[in-house]
Every structure is written in C-alpha cells, then in structure tokens.
Amino acid sequence: MILRKIEPKDNAQIAKVIRDVFDELDAPKVGTAYADPILDTLFEVYQQPRSVYYVVENEGVVLGGCGIAPLENGATHICELQKMYFAPEIRGTGMAKTMIENCLQFAKENDFTLCYLETLSFMKAAQKLYTNLGFKAIDAPLGCTGHSSCEVWMTKELQ
C-alpha cells in the first residue's frame, strides 16, 4: 500500500470510498461529509494554502484518505482533520494512525497549534483511535463546517 498526496485522477475514487462508507454504515447523508458540495473535487480543494489530503492506494485503487485544512470560520491557529474514511479491506491495518500522524505533522509544519475534528457518535472505532492519539472530547463544535449531524467534537493540542 502506498500513502501519498491526492492527485486529480483520485477525485472520483476517493468520493466513492467516502459515499460507500456512509452507505455501509447507514449513516446520515445530510449534514455530513456525504453532502459536501466539494466531495467530487477534493484534489482542487486541498490545493489551498495550509491544506493537504493524503490517499492510500493499493495496486492503482484508492482505498481511503484523510486531510488537514484550516478550520472553516475558525481562528488561524486551528486546523481540522477532515474526511478520514477507509474501505473495509484496509481497516485495522494501521493506515489510519499513520495517515493521521502525517496530517498532524503537516499541521505543525504549517503553524497550527490546535487540531479539531468532528465525527458521528456511533463511529466508536474512530473515536478510540482519536483518543489514543491524544484527542480529547469537547462540549460544542468549533468553526462552521456545515456538518450539523456530527455530534462528537474533539481537539488535540499540537506541540
């Protein structure tokens, strides 16, 4: 498996992975990443300053991804861990941890001091991973992501 930055050719594949995860988990489509108008253009979106999106590729097939970007309508020192989704066949391989660590390193290199994320309450495995990586639950959302269905918010101080 190869971990690399997103390329234009990856847009359709990563959008499909994300939508497939929502379908698999019967997760809400409205107020989540599923409904984001940018979902089909992630390469272009993550060309913005202080932003990066990584994908996991195996034999030419994109099987997951995760990104970092400034938090929408947030303070300049806050980034958001975004759109971390993986196909079932690579869950439990350690790729999510590696990808998050890469994203957090990128965040530090780009002068962010706090990383924010939001997720759905039933995504327990993801929450356990976030907690193990030092994220702590907070009581209310930060910024204005448009993800009104997400009811779990977490932050991590970056040093």
Q: Can you tell me which residue has the tokens 């995760």? A: 66
The backbone torsions φ and ψ at residue 78, rounded to the nearest 5 degrees and listed phi first, read -105, 125
Task: Count CB-CB contacts under 10 A for residue 129.
Answer: 15
- Residues 107-121, mean pLDDT to the nearest whole number: 95
First to last CA, the chain: 29
Q: Which two tokens stand for residue 1?
A: 């498996």
In this predicted model, which residue has the larger pLDDT, 145 or 43? 43
Residue 120 pLDDT greater than 80, yes or no = yes
Q: Which two tokens stand for residue 60?
A: 């030419």
Class in CATH terms, 2-157: alpha beta
Q: Which two tokens stand for residue 2?
A: 């190869």
pLDDT at 17: 95
Looking only at the bridges linking them, the beta strands covering 78-86 and 114-119 are parallel
User: What does the domain layout of the chain look like in residue ranges?
Assistant: 2-157
Confidence of residue 74 (pLDDT cuts 50, 70, 90): confident
Task: Count CB-CB contacts under 10 A for residue 139.
Answer: 5
Residue 33 pLDDT greater than 80, yes or no = no
Q: Can you tell me which residue has the tokens 């977490």? A: 154
Supply the mean pLDDT for the chain.
91
Query: How much is the pTM?
Result: 0.92
- Residues 27-48, mean pLDDT to the nearest whole number: 82
In this predicted model, which residue has the larger pLDDT, 21 or 37? 21
pLDDT at 32: 66
Instruction: Report the C-alpha gap between 156 and 101 in whole angstroms.
Output: 12
Please report which helix (H) or strand (E) contains residue 44, including its range: helix 42-45
Confidence of residue 3 (pLDDT cuts 50, 70, 90): very high
CA-atom Rg of the chain in angstroms: 14
Please provide the DSSP assignment of 73-91 as one string: TS-TTEEEEEEEEE-GGGT
pLDDT at 122: 83
Instruction: Report the C-alpha gap between 40 and 46 in whole angstroms.
Output: 12
